[in-house]
Every structure is written in C-alpha cells, then in structure tokens.
Structure 1
Amino acid sequence: MMMWLKVNDGEKIQGLCDYIVENDGEETFDLRESYLLALCESERKENILEVLEIMDIKKLSSVNSVAKIFQALGRLSLEPVAEKLFFDYKTNHEEDSITNFIASYAISIPDLRVEDVIKKFKDFHEKLEVLPSCSSYNKLILHGCAFLKERTCSDEEFDQLLLLLEKLNATTYWNDACCRIILCCIWDKRLSSAIDLCKLLKDKLQTDELIMKVLFDKVFSLIEESESKYLQTAMELISEMKDKLGLLPSQKYYDSLLAWCKANDNSHNAD
C-alpha cells in the first residue's frame, strides 16, 4: 500500500481497498489495519472512509494506532465520523484513552486557533461525558506553543495556555509544560509573563541550581543558533531573572551562554 500511495496510483490503491473490503474475515484483520494506517498518512479521504466502514477500531493493536486514525480524521475535517467512532470506542475502554484521542483529533484540525482547538476539545468531552486527563491537557499545551511560534500570540490565546497549565498543577507534566510556555514567552517577547512563570518554577523546585538546569535544558537550549531574533529576548530574560528572582547561571551555564552568543556573532559576521 505504501508504495502505491507514494506514487499516487489510484487504481492500485483502490484495488487493495477492494480486496480487504471483500475479504473482511479475522485472518485479514492485521492487513486491514496496516492498510488503514497507511491510508491515514495520505489525503485519500474516500478510501479511508471505505476501510473504516469494515473496521472495528476497538480491536486495533495499540492505542497509538487508534490515535493516528483520529489525527487523520481531524486533518481531513471528518467530524461526524470522528464523533461516531468516539462513542463506539467509549463503550468498553478507559476514559483516559478517549480523552487523549479527543486531544489528538482536535489538535490535528488545520488552521484552527488555539482557543478554538480548546473549545472543540471541551465540547467533545461534554458530549461524551468524560473528564479530560493530564496527558490530554499537556498535548493541548504542546500544540498551542508550537502553533504560536509561527504567529503573533494574542492575550486571549496566551491566557488559555496559562489556564491549561493550572490544570496540570501538582502533576508530573507541570514542569515541562511551564518551560514550554516560558519558551513561548521568549518567542512572543512576553518578558513579564516569563518572569512570573520562572517564579512559579522556583517555588516548586526550591533550589536555584536545579531551576537553572531545568531552564537551560528545556528552554534556552531549544533556541537554535539560526533563531537569532530570539537570542536578545533570551538574554534579557536571564538578566531579569538575576535582578528580580536572584537566579544566576552557574559557571557551566554561563560558559554555554558565551559560546551561544559567540556562535551567533560568528554567523552574523559570515553573512
């Protein structure tokens, strides 16, 4: 199937779909799953719907396989199909799986603003009468931060990220999610908000050395050398952390900063 999808041979693809539709016994289930997952990587909406008609997704080999199907349904804007499958899947599976599938679906819908993704996420939870999980909230934050890197972040969108972060309080996801939003602050030049989040991180982690390690590993080290437009904001944040929170980088991290700045200067000089 993958070979024919790569060359976009519609006749061969349809032939394989016809075969698994006509031979839908247990002995071909693994083959049908394989073909369906391959189709979900494509834009062939009609073929995906055709195979879904004969598949019981509750029997798929892993939750990751099911998530890929909902991602495709989101990407192709097939909401009625997704809703039907959500209800089918809910009958004998844990809520934690359902809420993660809802998140996978919502964040895959193209060109949807952060607040609209969150609304879609909430609406489906209400329809299905399930509670969101920490892991699904975390998915929304990761998606929102990645989405906003490419766009100007409105105050409303940023506030939505902060509300999601509150949902993760006292969970293992909180530190990573907080750092993602701090990075988002650097992209959007929200120094005041970044300092507030660093203060929350300091209150949770207690020791300055650990705080700086987390910030360097999960924030500053993620800024690529090619992203020099964010370098000045990052340096300003480090200065603000020193003045307002008393946080100083260790010699190790200070040396890393110098190397970071030197590499950036060299790249500018080369240009």
Structure 2
Amino acid sequence: MGLQKLPGGRINRLIEMCGQKLGTECTVELFGRLGRDTGMKEYNALIRICIEKAKAMNYLLALCESDRKKDLLQLLEIVDVTKISPPFYVANIFKSLGRLMLESLAENLLLEFQICDCEPKNISNFIFSYVVSIPNLAVEDVISKVKSFHAIVEVVPSSTTYEDLITYCCNSLKVHDALEIVDEMCEMGLTLTIATLHSLLHASEESYDFNLFEGAFGMLKDLEKMNLTPTASMYNAIIAGYFREKNTYGALMVLKQMELADVKPDSQTFSYLISNCDRETDIIKYYEELKRFGVQVTKQIFMSLINAYANCGQFEKAKQVLSDKGIPVKNLNEIKSVLVSALASCGQITDALSIYEEIKQAGFRLEPKAIISLIEHLQPDGELSTLLLLLKELEDLDYWVDGCCRVILYCVRHKHLSSAVDLLKQLKDQFCNDELATEVLFDEVFSLIGESEPTYVQIGLDLLQVIKDELCLSPSRKCLDFLLSACVNAKDLQSSLLIWKEYEAAGLPHNVLSFLRMYQVLLASGKYNTAKMMLNQIPKADTHVRCVIKACQTSYAASNAVKKKTKKKGGKEER
C-alpha cells in the first residue's frame, strides 16, 4: 500500500512517531519528499505533538525554578533532555541540578549530551551552569570542579566558559584566580573579549591588592598578543587604582604608557588626574591639556576641579567653578552639592551652609551625600537643631539611616538624651519588621559609649533603660559588652554590677569576654578578693585569654603600687 493510500488513523500514528523521533519540522519536510501532501489531519497531529511537548517543557522549567526535587526527578525520567532546545533552557535545568546538588544525575545527563553529538561549547556551558549553582562552593572549588567535569565528558572548555569563569572570579574579587585562567587561555590560543578584560581590570581596582593590580597592568602591555585594542577606560581603571594607593608616580607612568599605546585620554582620565592634584599649577596644566585634546568638559570634570581647588586651599576658585557657562543647567544643583561637601570636609562650614541655604531658596534640594558630609563635619561644634533640620532633608532610607546614626552619636557625645531617644524610636519604626537591622544600628550607638570618656557611662545606662522600657526591646550582647567596657574605662564597679545582672535578665549567659571585663573592673576598683574569685571562673585554655589576664594583672598591680607609694609620701609629710 502506498503512502498516499494509508488510512487516516495509521497516517496519524506514523506522523506522531516521526514527530516524536525527528521533530515537527523534519516530519513535514520528510512527508513532502515522499509525495504526501500535508493536510488538515496531519497538521492537527503535529500541533498536538507540539502542545504536548510544550506542556512537558513548561512543567520541567517551572519545576527547575521552584527546585521541587522529587517532582523534577520524576519528570526527568520521562523527558529526553537532549531533545530540548534552545540550549538556554537546558542550562536552566543544570542550574537547578546544581542548587539541589544532584551531581550524579548531572554527570549522567552530560554524558548523554556527549553521546548524542551535542556541540562541545553547549556542553561546556551546561557544566559551568551546574557548578556555579552549587551552594557554598568556594571559588577555587568552582574552578576545580568545572575542570574535572570537562575531563569526565572529554570536552575542552570553550572560550565562553573561560570568560564566564573569569567574570565569576572577578565578581568574588578573586583576581589572582582570574589571572591564572587568563594565562591558561593564552596558552590555548584563546582570546579575551574587551568586556571580560574590563571586568578583570575593574576587579583589580576594587581588590585593594597592589600585587594583583600590578599584574593587571602588566597584562595591558600584552594586549597585542591577545589581538585586542586597548581603550581609555582600561587605562582609567589602572590609574584610579594607583591614585587610590596614593601612588601618583605609578598613575603618571600609566598615563605615559597610554600615550605610547596611542590611546587618547578621555574625560574620566582627566577627572582622575585633576581631582588628585595637590598643586594649583597641576590643576591648570591638566585642564589646558584637556582642552588641547578636545575632550568635552563633563560634570565629573567640574566636580574634580571643585575638589582639587578645595584640597589645595583655594576655596574662592572652587566657588568660581560654578560661574562657568559650560555647566548644563540640569547638572548645576549636583555640582553645587559637591561644592558644599568639599567646603564642609575642608572645615569651611560657614560657606558650606551659606551655599546650602542658596540651594534651598532656589527651590532645590541638596544631594544626599552632601547632607551626610555636612552632618559629619558639623558635629564637633554645630547645633543640634541644624543637624535635625539636615536629617529631615534626607528622603532616601539608606542615607537617612546613615545620617540618623550620626546625629544620635552627636546626641550621645553632647548628652542630649531626649533627642537621642526620639531618634532611636524613629529608627525602630523604620525597621519594625527587621530586628537584626535594628540590633546592628543600636549596637553602633553603644559602641561609641564603650570607646568614649568615663562620663558617658550614665547616658549609656539611661539609653539601655529606654530600649527596655519605651522601645520594648531586649538589649543585645554587643550592647551590654560595650557598656561593660565603658565601666572598665570609668572604673565604675556599681554600674558594672547592674550591667552584669542585665546579661542574666536578657537570657545571655556570661562568656569569656564578659568575665574578662568584669575581672578588669574589679581589679581597677581594688576588689582583689572578688577579682580572684572571678578569675577562677574564666576558662584559660586560650593563649590570648591568658595574655589578657597577665596584662590586666601587670597593669593594675603597677597602678596599685603607685597609689601605695603616694600614700606613704603623704604620710611622711604629715609627720
């Protein structure tokens, strides 16, 4: 019987079988070649196959997103993953296997892809997708596991996988590992993309490791071997790093290298150079060079000029930058805010506040960073009312929290208890659903008390009472530790005994640190017998603990000897 004469039921079953094995497009093409016109019934059969596959695929991807292990395993038993396309979907499946740590299943699936002649670069991508999704895996282990999986399926890592690994290392600031991968790529004749190189240079800048930074700079000299053309932003990242390290000579050497490579400096280059000038002549020199190169004067350049002049003590010239007609109206307020911040940080508080008032009268708002700068530099001798007014200007929550903590610390220093309490209440209201954030912020306040003069103990105790009675919060261990430290500094035995009881009331068992601090207070107060009893309760297995105990005994023994000697001298004089 010819294909043309097959009954509808049989042809439908044949189409379904071919559709399952070959796919819908290949099936239509095959039947066309065999002389069978694709009619409505045949298309319906193919549509039914597509819908069933789409359902299965949607279920599979949904299970991958939800990480429902049992259901995912059941579906993977009936779905042929090697038939799934595009590869992006398969990568999502491997990511889920990684999150669920199903290593044996991942390995089996990778071997299946190898057998069915899947493109090596896709298999390499699946490996990377799986490994980086494994929870709590150190960067070194990620690199090792990626290599071992490639060895198992006998596939060479693709350039894309290498670059993904480099980016992964850079995001974790593991620049040393990233540079080793770059070396591997070069040995294999693979080249980096510009985007990956930018990522590597940025990570080098952020790593604060000068040796790695030098390595990244050395790599710039080998760009020709990688068939890459250097860009200004690559050199800018290196220049910024040198300036951050206060290495002006290194930054200028990079600038020279930039010139030799025939790379034209851009506005960002000159922004770094100008903002790090410590002489007025250098500011003028770089500004003239900027114009000679035809580089556009951006808002960053205007900001750099302001900061540079302010740092050189040329405050009037910093103010004169605002009169430049090249400043776009839309950037004027932002640049004025930079001037306020620069003046405040250089101690020119009166001028900074004056410009702040001008901005307000013009109907604009000061930028949050400038407000924080004003709050920070107003604190030594500013008025609380001004600080509270500045705090109200902050609308962004992160900046407001930063500013609020600074004003609370001011209140603690100047013993404005009621204002400190009011701000603590506002903080609690902002983080009513986040106890951890509230605890961290309160700990920051008490840390100041622990490091301050002895006279701060009482305001610390008052704040502790407020936290318990008015805010209905239990003090954290750090909070009590800081207060106990303040008692040590003040040699205040009575207050330390109160705080000692607070540990118990808060359900916090005394630990080595609290025992040591209490031991210090007892020695400082001359309660040697009680101190000896406390000493017996301190675990001494740790070397550092023994060193602290010895240092305390030496310190307070010497202090006691001086006191006795003074008393004896006083007695002789009386006789």
Normalising to structure 2: TM-score of the pair?
A: 0.35
Counterpart mapping for 1:37-116 below 5 A: 37-92=61-116, 93-116=118-141
Q: Distance in 1 between matches of 2:371 and 2:240?
A: 19
Name the structure 2 match of 1:161.
178
Is contact 2:213-2:241 (8 Å) kept?
no
- The answer to which structure, 1 or 2, has the higher relative contact order (CA under 8 A, 6+ apart) is 1
Q: Distance in 1 between matches of 2:179 and 2:230?
A: 23
Which deviates more, 231-240 or 77-86?
Answer: 231-240
Residue 188, structure 1, aligned to residue 212, structure 2: no
Q: Distance in 2 between matches of 1:251 and 1:132?
A: 37
How far is the alpha carbon of 1:131 from its aligned partner?
1.2
* Long gaps (5+) in structure 1: 1-23, 221-230
Match of 2:168 among 140, 143, 146: 143
Q: Distance in 2 between matches of 1:268 and 1:132?
A: 46
Instruction: Give, as a single letter, the amino acid of the residue that structure 1 aligns with 2:183.
Output: E
Is contact 1:178-1:197 (8 Å) kept?
no
Following TM superposition, the consecutive aligned residue runs of length 4 or more in structure 1 with deviations greater than 4 angstroms are 24-27, 231-234, 255-258, 260-267
Q: Distance in 2 between matches of 1:250 and 1:145?
A: 25
Is contact 2:223-2:230 (8 Å) kept?
no
Counterpart mapping for 1:246-257 below 5 A: 246-247=256-257, 250=265, 252-254=267-269, 257=272
Q: Distance in 1 between matches of 2:158 and 2:95?
A: 18
Flag the 1:113–1:28 CA change in 2: closer, same or farther, 3 A: same
How far is the alpha carbon of 1:171 from its aligned partner?
3.9
Instruction: Give, as a single letter, the amino acid of the residue that structure 1 aligns with 2:147.
Output: K
SS in 2 for 1:129: coil
Instruction: Give, as a single letter, the amino acid of the residue that structure 2 aligns with 1:130.
Output: V
Name the structure 2 match of 1:134.
159
Match of 1:199 among 218, 227, 230: 218
Name the structure 1 match of 2:146.
121
Name the structure 2 match of 1:36.
60
How big is the alpha-carbon RMSD for the aligned residues of Structure 1 and Structure 2?
3.2
Q: Distance in 2 between matches of 1:118 and 1:210?
A: 28
Instruction: Give, as a single letter, the amino acid of the residue that structure 2 aligns with 1:32.
Output: A
Which entry has the higher C-alpha Rg, 1 or 2?
2
Name the structure 2 match of 1:211.
231
Residue 242, structure 1, aligned to residue 252, structure 2: yes
Name the structure 2 match of 1:224.
none
The CA deviation string for residues 158-186 of structure 1, in whole angstroms up to 9 with x for no partner, is 43221111233354425433332222222
Name the structure 1 match of 2:371.
270
Q: Distance in 1 between matches of 2:96 and 2:235?
A: 34
Q: Distance in 1 between matches of 2:192 and 2:83?
A: 30
Q: Distance in 2 between matches of 1:50 and 1:175?
A: 43
Q: Distance in 2 between matches of 1:251 and 1:116?
A: 40
Normalising to structure 1: TM-score of the pair?
A: 0.71
Name the structure 2 match of 1:7.
none
Instruction: Give, as a single letter, the amino acid of the residue that structure 1 aligns with 2:197.
Output: C
Flag the 1:124–1:251 CA change in 2: closer, same or farther, 3 A: closer
How far is the alpha carbon of 1:126 from its aligned partner?
1.5
Q: Distance in 2 between matches of 1:210 and 1:138?
A: 18
Identity of aligned residues (%): 29
Instruction: Give, as a single letter, the amino acid of the residue that structure 2 aligns with 1:164.
Output: I
Q: Distance in 2 between matches of 1:108 and 1:100?
A: 12
Q: Distance in 1 between matches of 2:195 and 2:266?
A: 24
Q: Distance in 1 between matches of 2:141 and 2:167?
A: 15
Name the structure 2 match of 1:173.
192
Instruction: Give, as a single letter, the amino acid of the residue that structure 1 aligns with 2:181.
Output: L
Q: Distance in 2 between matches of 1:41 and 1:142?
A: 24
Q: Distance in 1 between matches of 2:154 and 2:269?
A: 50
SS in 2 for 1:53: helix
Instruction: Give, as a single letter, the amino acid of the residue that structure 1 aligns with 2:244.
Output: E
Q: Distance in 1 between matches of 2:126 and 2:235?
A: 30
SS in 1 for 2:78: coil
Is contact 1:103-1:136 (8 Å) kept?
yes
Q: Distance in 2 between matches of 1:251 and 1:101?
A: 40
The CA deviation string for residues 133-153 of structure 1, in whole angstroms up to 9 with x for no partner, is 1111111111122233xxxx5
Is contact 2:232-2:269 (8 Å) kept?
no
Q: Distance in 2 between matches of 1:125 and 1:251?
A: 42
Q: Distance in 2 between matches of 1:80 and 1:25?
A: 31
SS in 2 for 1:130: coil
Name the structure 2 match of 1:13.
none
Q: Distance in 2 between matches of 1:64 and 1:202?
A: 36
Flag the 1:109–1:234 CA change in 2: closer, same or farther, 3 A: farther
Flag the 1:267–1:233 CA change in 2: closer, same or farther, 3 A: farther
SS in 1 for 2:132: helix
How far is the alpha carbon of 1:242 from its aligned partner?
2.0
Flag the 1:132–1:113 CA change in 2: closer, same or farther, 3 A: same
Instruction: Give, as a single letter, the amino acid of the residue that structure 2 aligns with 1:241.
Output: A
